[in-house]
Structure 1
């Protein structure tokens, strides 16, 4: 028992020394930086592509639609000087984007209908690279494929941050911060570090998996 208690305090000390990182499954993960909702909500347009379903085929189709649409809008959005100009471009090209999506769907042997809309929607917390876009209502351009009951892929459409590597999965968080800052002109502090606040708290919360590793599952 004494050995377990000693091990427990050693791990606490290690976590404090590493900036209150999260421990899970034998690995230590640095916490993500959380953007301040009020600083970004009126400075970005999100882009979401929602698949017909969660089947592997529908999810792959969603990514093909995403690639073709991004290929079309990327250069034009790069030329937009501000949010209003980007919004006008999206509205004016809505039917063209839908046609592009429909063509991709037909090329792949499906007959799903496509709808799209630029609207304000409420989204949960979303991780983008190593940044957290907090829960809230954001302006977003959404492409809905078929029943739109599958998982969605998303990025920041303006400032144009949908330009990533060939897998469309990796993002450069420094580039995100820089471009959002450029768009806003001045963001006082668009990054808050929850870890700084946690240092002032006396209690440290551990994931249930971590507790199980130390003490075992008593319910067994």
Structure 2
């Protein structure tokens, strides 16, 4: 009986698999182009204690204030990356200064590299899962909840659609890329989950 049902459903499943595969290829291409134009910020708290989480947010504010000045004249992610790499000691010093002010016994470390991120919504926009360049600031043991945002273009503090679009366009993102990032009636969930759906369909045949 199950084999009979499977045979009946096979054409439908194959059609869905082909459609998802095509859309997934388009989605993956956009994700790859997008990831090359962004630099994300990732601040990891020492622990999940109330104090450590509050310190994480204080460090976040200090880091954002510093790096916004460092990257304000960057015309693309390469220039922003160079500015950040050249100032990693200053970034670490700024984080450690906040830790000292809050009486923390631990220190901070920072690195700029490629990291894997899950699908993430930031309110005005969302980003698909994938590998992105990111400034990662780890506090102490780095065992607590973290804080993510997009450092370049400066989307962390975008308070409106207009501010978001301007910052994205100034950094060289195309209209299609802005639309790909922006929520649109929940459709971004479909775009960003295509790879997961494709994997599921493939599993039906394994």
Task: Please report the TM-score for the alignment, with normalisation by the length of structure 1.
Answer: 0.64
Give matches, 1:54-69, under 5 Å. 54-69=48-63
Q: In the alignment, what sits opposite 1:9?
A: none
Name the structure 2 match of 1:208. none
The DSSP-based 3-state class of the residue aligned with 2:126 is strand
Deviating beyond 4 angstroms after TM superposition, the runs of 4 or more aligned structure 1 residues are 192-198
Cα distance in 2 for partners of 1:130, 1:64 equals 23
Choose the corresponding residue for 2:137, options 139, 143, 150: 143
1:146-194: CA deviation from partner (whole Å, max 9, x where unpaired)? 1111111121111122335xxxxxx434432332233235343542547
**Which has more helix, going by share of residues?**
2
Are 2:92 and 2:110, in contact at CA under 8 Å, matched by a contact in 1?
yes
Q: What SS does the aligned partner of 2:42 have?
A: strand
Cα distance in structure 1, aligned partners of 2:135 and 2:188: 34
SS in 2 for 1:72: helix
3-state DSSP class of the match of 2:134? strand
Counterpart for residue 134 of structure 1: 128
Q: Which residue of 2 aligns with 1:99?
A: 93
Q: Encode CA deviations 1:78-126: one digit per residue, 9 max, x unaligned.
A: 1222211111110011011101111110111112121110011110011
Cα–Cα, structure 1 residues 48 and 195, in superposed 2: closer, same or farther, change >3 Å? closer
Structure number with the higher strand fraction is: 1
Contact 1:39 1:190 in 2 (8 A): no
Structure 1 residues 189 and 97: alpha-carbon distance in aligned structure 2, compared to 1, 3 A threshold: closer
Kept in 1: contact 2:75–2:172 (CA 8 A): no
Question: Residue in 2 aligned with 1:172?
Answer: 160
Match of 1:115 among 106, 109, 127: 109
- The count of aligned residue pairs is 157
Relative to the length of structure 2, the TM-score reads 0.68
Which residues of structure 1 form unaligned runs of 5+?
1-35, 165-170, 199-220
Cα 1:108–1:194 shift into 2, 3 Å: same
* Distance across 1 between alignment mates of 2:96 and 2:32: 36
